[in-house]
C-alpha cells in the first residue's frame, strides 16, 4: 500500500456534518503551523515595530493568496493521489523538474533554518542556553519526533502546538492597548511606507511558503477515502476546503496578533531588531508574564514548524524518485536529514539571528513563483487532473496571484540593486 507505515485509509463514506468536519480537521492545521513559525515572528514584529498598523494589509492579502493556493495544491493531491513533487517528476521534463524540486528543497532547508533558530532563541530566553547548543537540541527533538512518531501522532501534537500559540497571542493582545479603528483600516488598505518593501516581501514569504504547498498536496492524502466514487471525492474536496479555510483564518488571526503586539513598540518609538529584544522589552510594556508567554510560544512554534519543514523536505526529496512520503523509506529519510541537519549547520554561520530570520523569508518569497507556476501548470492540465482540472476562473485567479508575487519579487530585486 502506498501509505504503509505513514497514512491509513478509511473506507467509509464521510458525511458533511459539523461533527465529522471537526473529526477530520488536521491537514490544514499542519500547514498553518508552517506560517506561524519564527520567521513569521521576526517579519511581523519588524512590520509592527517599524510601521505600526500600516502593513496589516499584507497579512490579509497573503492569507487570501494562501487559501487559494493551498486549496489548489490539496485539490491536486486528492484527485491524482500524487503530491506536487511526484506529479512534477511524472509530468515535467527532467532538467526543468530537477530545478523545480531542487529549489523547493533549498526552500525547505531555509524554512527549517529559521524555525530551528527560533526554537534556539526561545531556549536562550528561557534557560540561557547558548544559541548553537540550542540549535543542536532543537534539531535532535525534531528528528526524534519525525523518526519515532506516526503521522497521526504528529498531527495531534501540531494541533496542540497551534492551540497553545494562539492562546499565547490572545493573552498578549489582551494586554496591549489596540487602536481597533486603525487596525481595521490597516487590514484593508494597502500602504507602502518608505523602506518597507523588504519587510512586505518577508511577510509574504513568511505566510505563503513554497514548502507548505508541496506538503499540503502530500498530507491531504491522509484524508483519502474510496476515491473510485465521484461523489465521495467531491465530498472530500468540500471537507478539504472547509479545513483549509478554517485553518488559514486561524493563521491570519495569529499573524495579525503578532503585529498588533509589536505596535506597542512602535508607539514607544522602538524598532525591534532581535527577538530577544522584543521579549525583554515586553517586560516593562506588558509585564513579566507577557515576556515568559512570548518565549514559551516561540519555543512551541519553532519545534512544531521545524517538524513540518522536515516532513516537506522528506516529501520533496522522495518525490524526485516518484515516491510518496514514508518515513520508513530511504529517500524520505535522506530528505528529512538533509533538511534538518543542513538547516542546523547554517545556524553556526549566522552572526545576526534576527536578520537571518527576516532574510530567510525573503528568499522563500523569491522561490515562491517557481512553485506557484509549476502548480498552476499541473492543476490546469487535463492529462494530470482529468475532469477536475482548473476552471477558467480558477486559472485567472491563480495567474493573478502568480503575477503579483513575481512583480513584488522583481521590485525587491531592483530596490536591492539600486
Report residue 4 as a C-alpha cell: 504503509
d(CA 212, CA 31): 6
Report residue 323 as a C-alpha cell: 515516491
Helix (H) or strand (E) holding 401: helix 392-417
Lowest mean pLDDT among 1-5, 182-186, 294-298, 346-350: 1-5
What was the pLDDT predicted at 1?
38
Would you say 165 and 253 are in contact if contact means Cβ atoms under 8 Å apart?
no
What was the pLDDT predicted at 6?
38
Lowest mean pLDDT among 19-28, 202-211, 231-240, 324-333: 19-28
pTM above 0.85, yes or no: no
What was the pLDDT predicted at 4?
40
Say if residue 295's pLDDT is above 80: yes
Q: What secondary structure does DSSP assign to 299-321, as a single string?
A: HHHHHHHHHHHHHHHHHHHHHTT
- Describe the crossing of helices 56-80 and 84-91 by its angle, rounded to 10 degrees: 60
Lowest mean pLDDT among 39-48, 198-207, 211-220, 255-264: 198-207
User: 40: Cβ–Cβ under 8 A, 6 or more apart, which residues?
Assistant: 203, 206, 207, 255, 258, 361
**Which pLDDT band, with edges at 50, 70 and 90, does 412 fall under?**
low
d(CA 249, CA 22): 15
What was the pLDDT predicted at 173?
87
Say if residue 28's pLDDT is above 80: no
d(CA 292, CA 295): 5
What was the pLDDT predicted at 361?
64
Q: Report the phi/psi class of residue 130: left, alpha or beta, with left for phi > 0 and alpha for psi in -120 to 50.
A: beta
Would you say 26 and 243 are in contact if contact means Cβ atoms under 8 Å apart?
yes
pLDDT in tens, 183-206: 999 999 999 898 888 888 778 766
Higher pLDDT, residue 264 or 158: 264
What was the pLDDT predicted at 214?
84
Q: What secondary structure does DSSP assign to 30-56, as a single string?
A: HHHHHTSSHHHHHHHHHHHHHHTTTTH
Specify the DSSP class assigned to residue 223: G
User: 351: Cβ–Cβ under 8 A, 6 or more apart, which residues?
Assistant: none
Mean pLDDT along residues 375-399: 94
* Closest CA relative to residue 27, chosen from 121, 151, 190, 193: 151
* Closest CA relative to residue 310, chosen from 277, 286, 334, 293: 334
Report residue 58 as a C-alpha cell: 499584507
Count CB-CB contacts under 10 A for residue 54: 22
**How many Å from the N-terminal Cα to the C-terminal Cα in the chain?**
55
The owner of cell 527533538 is 141
The residue count of the chain comes to 418
| Mean pLDDT, all residues of the chain | 82
Kindly tell me the burial class for residue 318, based on how many C-beta atoms sit within 10 Å of its own C-beta (0-12, 13-18, 19 or more).
Answer: buried
Report residue 245 as a C-alpha cell: 479555510
Say if residue 3's pLDDT is above 50: no
Amino acid at each position: 500500500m502506498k501509505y504503509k507505515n505513514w497514512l491509513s485509509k478509511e473506507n467509509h463514506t464521510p458525511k458533511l456534518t459539523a461533527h465529522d468536519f471537526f473529526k477530520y480537521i488536521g491537514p490544514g492545521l499542519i500547514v498553518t503551523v508552517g506560517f506561524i513559525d519564527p520567521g513569521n515572528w521576526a517579519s511581523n514584529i519588524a512590520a509592527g515595530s517599524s510601521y505600526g498598523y500600516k502593513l496589516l494589509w499584507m497579512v490579509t492579502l497573503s492569507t487570501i493568496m494562501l487559501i487559494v493556493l493551498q486549496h489548489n495544491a490539496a485539490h491536486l493531491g486528492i484527485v491524482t493521489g500524487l503530491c506536487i513533487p511526484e506529479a512534477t517528476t511524472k509530468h515535467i521534463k527532467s532538467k526543468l523538474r530537477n530545478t523545480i524540486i531542487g529549489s523547493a528543497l533549498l526552500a525547505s532547508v531555509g524554512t527549517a533554518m529559521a524555525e530551528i533558530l527560533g526554537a534556539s532563541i526561545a531556549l536562550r530566553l528561557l534557560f540561557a542556553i547558548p544559541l548553537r547548543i540550542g540549535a543542536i537540541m532543537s534539531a535532535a527533538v525534531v528528528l526524534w519526533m519525525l523518526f519515532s512518531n506516526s503521522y497521526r501522532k504528529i498531527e495531534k501534537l501540531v494541533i496542540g502546538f497551534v492551540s497553545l500559540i494562539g492562546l499565547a497571542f490572545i493573552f498578549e493582545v489582551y494586554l496591549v492597548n489596540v487602536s481597533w479603528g486603525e487596525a481595521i483600516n490597516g487590514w484593508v488598505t494597502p500602504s507602502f511606507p518608505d523602506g518597507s518593501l523588504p519587510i512586505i516581501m518577508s511577510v509574504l514569504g513568511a505566510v505563503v511558503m513554497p514548502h507548505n504547498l508541496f506538503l499540503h498536496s502530500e498530507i491531504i492524502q491522509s484524508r483519502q477515502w474510496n476515491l473510485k466514487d465521484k461523489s465521495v471525492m467531491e465530498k472530500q474536496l468540500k471537507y478539504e476546503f472547509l479545513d483549509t479555510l478554517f485553518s488559514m483564518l486561524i493563521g491570519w488571526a495569529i499573524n495579525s496578533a503578532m503585529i498588533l503586539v509589536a505596535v506597542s513598540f512602535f508607539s514607544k518609538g522602538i524598532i525591534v531588531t532581535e527577538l530577544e529584544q522584543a521579549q525583554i522589552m515586553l517586560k516593562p510594556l506588558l509585564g513579566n508574564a507577557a515576556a515568559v508567554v512570548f518565549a514559551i510560544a516561540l519555543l512551541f512554534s519553532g519545534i512544531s514548524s521545524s517538524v513540518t519543514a522536515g516532513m516537506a523536505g522528506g516529501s520533496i526529496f522522495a518525490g524526485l524518485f516518484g515516491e510518496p512520503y514514508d518515513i520508513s523509506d530511504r529517500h524520505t529519510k535522506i530528505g528529512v536529514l538533509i533538511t534538518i541537519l543542513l538547516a542546523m549547520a547554517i545556524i553556526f554561520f549566522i552572526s545576526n539571528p534576527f536578520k537571518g530570520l527576516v532574510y530567510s523569508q525573503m528568499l522563500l518569497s523569491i522561490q515562491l513563483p517557481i512553485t506557484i507556476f509549476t502548480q498552476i501548470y499541473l492543476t490546469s492540465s487535463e492529462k494530470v487532473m482529468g475532469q477536475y482540472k482548473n476552471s477558467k476562473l480558477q486559472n485567472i485567479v491563480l495567474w493573478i496571484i502568480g503575477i503579483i508575487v513575481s512583480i513584488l519579487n522583481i521590485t525587491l530585486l531592483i530596490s536591492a540593486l539600486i
